[in-house]
Structure 1
Amino acid sequence: MAILLSLPLALALALPAQAWGPLGHRLVARLAEPDLTPQARATVARLLAGEPEPTLPGIANWADELRSSDPGLGRRSARWHYVNLDGDGCGYDAARDCPRGDCVVAALEKQTAILADPGRTDAERRQALKFVVHFVGDVHQPLHAGHAHDRGGNDYQVNYRNKGSNMHSLWDSGLLNARRLDEDAWLARLRALPAPPPVSPMPADAPRLWAEQSCRVVAAPGFYPRGHVIDEAYVDAHLPIAERQLRLAGAHLAATLNAALGGNG
């Protein structure tokens, strides 16, 4: 899988870190949409009626856009996008890793519960839906369940062809942009991958399991490049992992929404 990386990757590596970037989050949402149950699809459509783009991909980046559109909520939810798992074997300990519930695992659990509650207002459930779509993507980006000592790769500097950036930016968008594919081409490529096994019934602790799995990607030998240099061999080896994580995220998002919405309106 030889990949020629030049200016597109260099530009991507210079961008601020956002989990998967806008492209990745839209891809996760688009992967999920066809697998929604009729009940879940109808509820999503009702909740998103009136949105500028009333679809899952249309709201997939809303939680990142809060930084400018609603700075107050953006600050309150800033820690909900990630969890730092530094324990042995990537095991999640809520008291240690998620004090006050300020991490992606607890936030995903809480927002999914709000979304699933028909007693909540549509406005509350709409906001929860936007968070859920985004946070399922976040928890599958390996460095959103990475180490505290390097702030999920943000403080781990890397170099590619004399262009500097960090590991978080590389995994957010650099690996994807290396392919020079547009959104539709990426979607077709990801859909061609083997489908993940069905998630049924949805485990009560699914967000924890997903975070721990993402952490194990970070903990695997070779994830951090030797000498802080990203070469072609690194991209050849790790782009398929990023693709698998996106495919998993799409399947897990569909399963989450079906479990939350499949039986209620």
Structure 2
Amino acid sequence: MIVLRRSAVFLLACFLLVPDARAWGPDGHRIVAELAQRHLSPAAEAQVERLLAPEHTRRLADVATWADDIQDDPSQQALWKATRSLHYINFGDRDCDYQPPRDCRGERCVVEGLAHYVAVLGDRSQSEDARREALKFVVHLVGDVHQPLHAGYRPDKGGNTYQVQFRGEGGNLHRVWDSGMLRTRGLDWQAYAQRLDALGMVALPPATGAPFAAWAEESCRLTRDIYPDGHTVGAAYVERELPVAERRLRQAGRRLAALLNRALG
């Protein structure tokens, strides 16, 4: 079981290594959630609606950014500090082979975070509040683990310290991936989700080993090729990499739906 309390020294060490915990940006997370919502089983959809009723919503997209939003809520600072490192994973090298003692010390990474919250969500003996919180974390962390720069191996804090020029402005590669490239479509998140859903069922790599670790390894392998030459993100880069980002969104949505159908069906 994940121990959510850590000493102040441990937390400080995590902050020095952590990439920006926000992945995909709000639109990307809502797209993943909406894609999943459209493919829930009737039983799972009923459970989602029941769990989210106290949040005054029935839709996964409405809670998709909650796990990031708590960092700006003074009343949720303890939870944010305890869960911040669950949004990402730092692999040891470009082999992208998940080794828990090295890559997820103390179970403080997105792989083990997902395992923990999926278990809570599916445990009917847990309180409704605990399962509701778990649902919100699961929706968000599935998105996070599919964002390549939340599962990299380079010492650049998930691309946050890798500076680039994009559309005539300076920034970093993480921001380009979490929202910059997606915005080039000129779509709001609802229209974007509709566009991606209309493409049909996305292909998934063959399942091997523990699924959450495999998803992180997929993201890690993608980071080998997404760093632009010359620190400039131009039209050719977007043309090549935007389909990759969109495929990850579609895969995240499909896998989130399947995960919720199993846990709540």
TM-score, scaled to structure 1: 0.87
CA contact (8 A) 2:146 2:215 kept: yes
CA contact (8 A) 1:199 1:255 kept: no
CA contact (8 A) 1:139 1:145 kept: yes
Amino acid at match of 1:147: Y
Name the structure 1 match of 2:80: 74
> What is the aligned residue count?
244
Amino acid at match of 1:39: A
Name the structure 2 match of 1:38: 42
CA contact (8 A) 2:93 2:153 kept: no
User: In the alignment, does 2:256 pair up with 1:253?
Assistant: yes
Could you say what secondary structure the match of 1:242 adopts?
helix
Q: After the TM superposition, which segments of 4 or more aligned residues of structure 1 sit over 6 Å from their partners?
A: none
Could you say what secondary structure the match of 2:160 adopts?
coil
Residues in 2 aligned to 1:183 and 1:226: alpha-carbon distance in whole angstroms:
30
User: How far is the alpha carbon of 1:240 from its aligned partner?
Assistant: 0.5
Name the structure 1 match of 2:182: 176
Name the structure 2 match of 1:62: 66
Name the structure 1 match of 2:210: 205
Cα deviations by residue, 1:184-238 (Å, 9 ceiling, x for unpaired):
22112111224124899x9771110100011111113xx1111101111001100
Name the structure 2 match of 1:11: none
Q: Percent identity?
A: 48
Amino acid at match of 2:237: Y
User: How far is the alpha carbon of 1:160 from its aligned partner?
Assistant: 2.3
Amino acid at match of 2:176: L
CA contact (8 A) 1:154 1:168 kept: yes
Residues in 1 aligned to 2:80 and 2:143: alpha-carbon distance in whole angstroms:
17
User: In the alignment, does 2:71 pair up with 1:28?
Assistant: no
Amino acid at match of 1:54: R
User: How far is the alpha carbon of 1:42 from its aligned partner?
Assistant: 1.1
Amino acid at match of 1:213: E
Farther-moved stretch of structure 1 (132-141 vs 16-25): 16-25
TM-score, scaled to structure 2: 0.87
Higher RCO (C-alpha under 8 Å, 6+ residues apart): 1
Amino acid at match of 1:240: P
| RMSD of aligned alpha carbons | 1.9
Could you say what secondary structure the match of 1:188 adopts?
helix
Cα deviations by residue, 1:173-194 (Å, 9 ceiling, x for unpaired):
0011111111222112111224
Q: Which runs of 5+ in 2 are unaligned?
A: 1-19
User: In the alignment, does 2:225 pair up with 1:236?
Assistant: no
CA contact (8 A) 1:158 1:165 kept: yes
Q: Which runs of 5+ in 1 are unaligned?
A: 1-15
Residues in 2 aligned to 1:87 and 1:231: alpha-carbon distance in whole angstroms:
28
Could you say what secondary structure the match of 2:135 adopts?
helix
Farther-moved stretch of structure 1 (77-86 vs 109-118): 77-86
Name the structure 1 match of 2:103: 97
Farther-moved stretch of structure 1 (35-44 vs 113-122): 35-44
